[in-house]
Amino acid sequence: MRNYYVEVRDLVKLFKDPATRSTVRAVDGISFGVEKGKLVTLLGPSGCGKTTTLRLIGGFEIPTSGEILIDNVVVNDLPPNRRPTAMVFQSYALFPHLNVFENVAYGLKARKMQRQVIREKVMNVLAIVGLVGLEMRYPSQLSGGQQQRVALARALVVEPKVLLLDEPLSNLDAKLREQMRVELRKIQMNLGITSIYVTHDQLEAMTLSDHVIVMKDGKIVQTDTPEMLYRFPANVFVASFIGRASFVEGRLIEQRENECLVELRNGKKINVETRPGAAFVPGQEVLLVLRPEGGRFVASKEGLLSGEVITRVYTGSTFYFEIKTDLGQVSVEIHSHDVRAVPQVGETVGVSFERSSMALVGRE
């Protein structure tokens, strides 16, 4: 077994819903680990239990059962202030009565550090997040992006063993969010700080993380690196949640070491790459996952599928198509710089997909 820095074992959190008086299984027996210095993202739709998991790790909720270990110490019974964690809140939760310096120094003062040391550490961390010169400002005088940086600096400065981030970028506008995403990842890698990140934005999860944990209804659906998640989704939910995908029904004919032969309803057979050790059995009904960005147009008889173009959208860098085929609707996206002919709406086309843009999932 690997040596994890943060480890969660069979974690369960039940809530009583006061309105219906029923029990909600917010976190339903999950286990995972985070290696030292890595950033792991909890990803899932709202209500999947990702924020509750983070709050359990931070100590703001008490688990119904299960264990949380940080650096091989069980922290279940420690209050938030005695855990080696620091949280960046979705709302930032900056203290409105304290200025930037005081906000950042807050945790150091709580640790009774010397004035000179506090000053040094605060200025250091402000330099890291790029806020030098704004020490005397109050949170209300800062822009959203600056507030975000203060929140991050405040959590970083106490040098936590684990940094917890609860949808920290969700209050920023799109452009700034992209910028902060890159910056956040840079800071995290430079400091080598173990981080757990919660988001519902799959793009954010993909670009930031070493590992992504996809959650649904309080359970973990898949844990993997971003590449593996995209390339080999565990089921339909993951395939459609991570990136875009069209699905085509088929039957598995033969399983080899790293690929499977699948027969589609239109009689065509195709080899699809699978993850080593994937649990498929010959004869099984499957869904072929087709990533639009791997699609290309061919003569209508040569393609894997053929059908009529019903939608064409120009986005600048790409053309996006929806094609109505005999096996269902399929999306294709091609670069607008592609010199080959771009079909019109109403045209009948053949469609093929790159080997690396296809995957298999079981039909549920």
Q: Give contact residues for another protein (rule: CB under 8 A).
A: 58-60, 79-82, 85-87, 89, 91, 93-97, 106-107, 110-111, 140, 154-155, 158, 164
Q: Is the Cβ of residue 147 or residue 246 nearer to another protein in the bound state?
A: 147
Find the shortest distance in angstroms from Cβ 132 to another protein. 21
**Three-state secondary structure of 112-148:** CCCHHHHHHHHHHHHHHHCCCCCCCCCHHHCCHHHHH
Which residues lie below 8 Å from residue 357, measured CB to CB, with a gap of 6+? 290, 291, 293, 294, 295
CB of 250 to another protein, least distance (A): 45
Residue 52 C-beta: closest distance to another protein, Å? 13
State the nearest-atom distance from the C-beta of 10 to another protein, in Å: 24
Q: Which amino acid is at 36?
A: K
Classified as helix, coil or strand, 328 is strand
Cβ closest to another protein, residue 155 vs residue 360: 155
3-state secondary structure of 231: helix
The H or E element that residue 224 is part of is strand 219-224
Q: In the chain, what is the straight-line distance between the N-terminal and C-terminal CA atoms, in Å?
A: 31
Closest distance of CB 108 from another protein, Å: 9
Which of 144, 141, 133 lies closest to 101, judged by CA? 133
Judge contact between 234 and 222, C-beta under 8 A. Answer: yes
In the 8-state DSSP scheme, what is residue 342? P
Strand, helix or coil at 237? Answer: helix
22 or 140: CB nearest another protein: 140
Q: For residue 300, which of 274, 276, 325, 265 has the smallest C-alpha distance?
A: 325
Q: Which is nearer to another protein, 143 or 348 (CB)?
A: 143
Q: How far is the CB of 162 from another protein (least distance, A)?
A: 11
Q: Which is nearer to another protein, 37 or 144 (CB)?
A: 144
- Indicate the residue among 108 and 260 with the shorter CB distance to another protein: 108
Q: Is 159 or 293 the residue whose CB approaches another protein more closely?
A: 159
d(CA 276, CA 17): 43
Q: What is the DSSP letter of 272?
A: E
CB of 61 or CB of 249, closer to another protein: 61
Helix or strand holding residue 187 (H, E): helix 174-191
Shortest separation between residue 88's beta carbon and another protein, angstroms: 9
Helices 115-129, 144-157: axis angle to 10 degrees equals 130
CB of residue 89 vs another protein: minimum separation in angstroms?
Answer: 5
